[in-house]
């Protein structure tokens, strides 16, 4: 039987990146005179990659951008963010222990994020977590990104997984929707950057701490989902 595959979102799910995102974003938009954003703004800005985050931050402060302004601002953000990795970013409490448990139980792990793949890989590597993952995909890995099902399905394929034995873990609407679109169960965490309570997104399950993310839970979700939706679980 194909091992179970647990696919994680990155920002707000695996890693608490908020301080570094805000710092690099404010460094970037300061060059065009846009007022800084705060952590409270972050839930409305993240989830679609750095380019959209910059656009949204500028729109938030009444400074819409022209398309020719974006490349230089994106380059500025990437350079600052990369140069300061890992900064204040840390795994969420209980994550590493949960991943150890899952790996020891024979599960595969992967990352599916709308963050640029290069930034995601660099950050994960600097935190010495790369060895946990069978695949890491970003918002520029494929021609589409979350919530398009093909982003998650492509990640599953690269990880050597089976869509019928996969669970998606995330903190926002894109994560819950991509799981739904791909036909896999989802687990939502409430400590990330969602701008609405994660329960209202109707994930398959909500956990409040990674100590709840056990091999038993993963297998229960896969089995229950297959029983409830055999066609989706069969791919």
User: Strand, helix or coil at 96?
Assistant: helix
Residues in the chain: 235
CA distances in angstroms from 118 to 61, 137, 230, listed in the order given = 29, 9, 36
CA distances in angstroms from 149 to 60, 138, 168, 182, 199, listed in the order given = 29, 14, 12, 5, 21
Q: Which of 168, 139, 135, 166 is nearest to 46 (CA)?
A: 139
Asked about 134 being catalytic, the answer comes back as no
Please, what is the angle between helix 215-228 and helix 95-104, to 10°? 70
Annotated catalytic residue, options 9, 11, 20, 134: 9
Catalytic residues: 9
């Amino acid at each position: 039987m194909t091992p179970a595959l647990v696919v994680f979102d990155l920002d707000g799910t695996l890693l608490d990146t908020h301080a570094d995102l805000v710092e690099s974003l404010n460094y970037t938009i300061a060059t065009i005179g846009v007022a800084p954003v705060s952590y409270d703004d972050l839930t409305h800005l993240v989830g679609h990659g750095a380019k959209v985050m910059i656009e949204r931050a500028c729109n938030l402060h009444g400074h819409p951008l022209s398309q020719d302004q974006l490349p230089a601002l994106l380059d500025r953000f990437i350079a600052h963010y990369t140069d300061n990795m890992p900064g204040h970013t840390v795994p969420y409490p209980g994550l590493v222990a949960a991943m150890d448990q899952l790996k020891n139980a024979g599960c595969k792990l992967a990352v599916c994020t709308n963050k640029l793949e290069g930034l995601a890989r660099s950050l994960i590597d600097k935190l010495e977590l790369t060895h946990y993952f069978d695949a890491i995909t970003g918002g520029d890995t494929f021609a589409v990104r979350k919530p398009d099902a093909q982003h998650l399905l492509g990640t599953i394929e690269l990880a050597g997984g089976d869509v019928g034995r996969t669970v998606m873990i995330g903190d926002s609407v894109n994560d819950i929707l991509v799981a739904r679109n791909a036909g896999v169960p989802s687990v939502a965490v409430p400590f990330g950057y969602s701008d609405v309570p994660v329960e209202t997104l109707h994930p398959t399950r909500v956990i409040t701490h990674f100590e709840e993310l056990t091999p038993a839970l993963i297998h229960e979700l896969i089995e229950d989902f297959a029983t409830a939706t055999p066609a989706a679980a069969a791919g």
